[in-house]
Amino acid sequence: MANPRNAKLADQIKVILASTIERRVKDPRLGFVTLTEVRLTGDNREATVFYTVLGDEAERTASAAALESAKGMLRSTVGAQLGMKFTPSLTFVLDATPEVAKSMEDLLARVQAMDAEAATQATGKTFAGDADPYRKPREESDEE
């Protein structure tokens, strides 16, 4: 979204959807849903709504079904509040950011454990050559 107007419109759509989901969607399948981002196409005809759900896989699938069933009502609410010529069609996509962040944290913890193990193995060891292997400029002595 290079266009700042699209970015502002996406933020407005996100706010409208969040308040509508909180107040008007009464589906019991809907879990604790958080909208993370809305992306619009260049012509503002399609909006991709990224969301996360707190809970296990069953709650994620139930919330996805609830959002799909409420898609028409949500789109009409967005159109009524924005007053645009064309209301964008909504596509709900489960955001993978929490899973990616968890895997990154696991990798960092594993690397940190490997560094600690290497540090414990290096205690009491000496270098094979000189302690400072880098060449230094030759120092002239007073005798020369």
Phi and psi at residue 130, to the nearest 5°:
-70, 160
pLDDT higher than 60, residue 1: no
Beta bridge partners of 47: 40, 90
Number of H-type helices and E-type strands within the chain: 4, 3
* Residue that wins the pLDDT comparison between 27 and 138: 27
pLDDT higher than 90, residue 37: yes
pLDDT band, very low/low/confident/very high, at 94 (cuts 50, 70, 90): very high
pLDDT at 143: 66
At 91, list the tokens: 């596509």
pLDDT at 100: 85
- Mean pLDDT in residue range 91-107: 88
